[in-house]
Amino acid sequence: MRAFSYDRPDSVDAALRGVANQPGTTTEAAVKFVAGGTNLLDLMKADVMRPDRLVDISRLNLDKIEEVDGGGLRLGALARNSDTAYDARVQARYPMLSKAILAGASAQLRNMATNGGNLLQRTRCYYFYDTGTPCNKREPGTGCGALTGVNRIHAILGASDHCIAVHPSDMCVALAALEAIVRVTGPKGERTIPFADFHRLPGDTPHIDSTLAADELITAIDLPAKGFAEHSTYLKVRDRASYAFALVSVAAALELDGQTIRTARLALGGVAHKPWRDPAAEAELAGKPASLENFREASRVLLRDAKGQSHNAFKIGLAERAIVRALAEAAGVEHP
C-alpha cells in the first residue's frame, strides 16, 4: 500500500471541503472518501487504487434510518448493511431488500460496510484486480484482458468492446427493482439521482462507474412507499452457498390482483456493468396471469440481447431459469 494522508472531519461541510477541486468523476481522484472501507482498502492494498489522501466520513451523522413523508424510508448512507437488513421496518415493508443485503458478503463485512459504500463498490473482475494485466477500467486505454481471457463471471448484457465487467452488489439489485432514489450533496448543493441513472454502462469510459462526481457525497437512499412486501423475493445463484458473488441474481416484485399481474419489477445482478432492468420485460407481464408460461416469456424478452463470451454463455440459460423461479416465488406459483 502506498503512503497517503488522512483526515477525519466531523461535519458534511468539512468533508466536502476535504475533496474540493477534484478533477471530475474518475476512479483515480487524489482524494477519496472512506467509511467502512471494506472494498476501498482492499483495492489500495492491491495497488489498484492509489489515492493521495483519505477523508474518513465515519463520524458524520448520516447513519439513521428514518420515516419520510408519503410512507417511505430514508436509509442513511453511513448506516451499516447489517443494521439496514435487520431493521424491523425494512424487514416488514421491504423484505426483498433485507434478503438481498443478507445474501451479500459475510456477517463481519456487513457489520462494517455502509449503505453508501455498497453503491460504490468496484467490480470483482480478475483483470481489474491484477495490475499485471490490461484493464480499461483500471487504466483507460490499455485494453480489456477479460475479452480474450477467463470471462466466466462476466457480463452478458450491456457490455462493450472496452469492458465486460459486472457490478458486484446484491443490495443494489433490490434497490433498482424498488426504484430507490440516491440523495447526494456537493459544492453545488444537494441533488437526487433516480437509481436507474446512478450506475453507468461501460461504453468507451468503463473507468467511470457512476454519475456521482468525485467531489459529491452520498447522504442517503430513499425507498418509496411501495415495497412489494407481499409478493417479492431476491434469488442469488452462486458457486457456493455463502460469501460468493452472484453468477446471476434476480430481484422480482409483483403487485397482484388475484392471480393477475398489475405491476411487475425485475432487476438482474451479475450480468451487467450495473443492475439490469428492462421496462419491456416488465410490460410483458402487466395484465397477464401469474403463470410459468408468462414468466418464461418475460425472461426471453429481458434476455433478448444477451451475448455470451467464450466462458460465460451458460449464464444466459441460467438467467432464464432464475428469472422464472424468482417470479414464481414472488407470486406463490409452484415451479419445478
In a domain, 256, yes or no: yes
User: Residue 185: CB partners within 8 Å, gap ≥ 6?
Assistant: 12, 16, 191, 216, 217, 219
For cell 467490480, what's the residue?
123
In a domain, 171, yes or no: no
Q: Give pLDDT < 50 ranges for the chain.
A: 25-27
Spell out a b/e string for 11-25, using b for 16 or more CB atoms within 10 Å of the CB, else e: eeeebbebbeebeeb
User: Residue 196: CB partners within 8 Å, gap ≥ 6?
Assistant: 176, 179, 277
For residue 233, list its beta bridge partners: 252
Domain harbouring 263, CATH code: 3.30.390.50
In a domain, 143, yes or no: no
pLDDT in tens, 25-79: 444 568 999 999 999 999 999 999 999 999 999 999 999 999 999 999 999 999 9
pTM for the full predicted model: 0.97
- Strand ranges (DSSP E) for 36-188? 53-56, 65-67, 73-76, 181-186
In a domain, 1, yes or no: no
Residue 280: CB atoms within 10 A of its CB come to 10
- Give me the pLDDT at residue 21, please: 67
In a domain, 210, yes or no: no
Locate 333 and state its grid cell.
Answer: 406459483
Q: Which of 284, 105, 246 is nearest to 167 (CA)?
A: 246
* Residue range(s) defining the domain that contains residue 299: 232-331
- Strand ranges (DSSP E) for the chain? 5-7, 31-34, 53-56, 65-67, 73-76, 181-186, 189-194, 217-223, 232-237, 248-257, 260-269
In a domain, 207, yes or no: no
- Give me the pLDDT at residue 198, please: 98
- Give me the pLDDT at residue 27, please: 43
In a domain, 241, yes or no: yes
Annotate 280-301 with DSSP letters as a single string.
Answer: HHHHHHTTSB--HHHHHHHHHH
Q: How far apart are CA 251 and CA 190, in angstroms?
A: 29
Number of domains in the chain: 1
In a domain, 83, yes or no: no
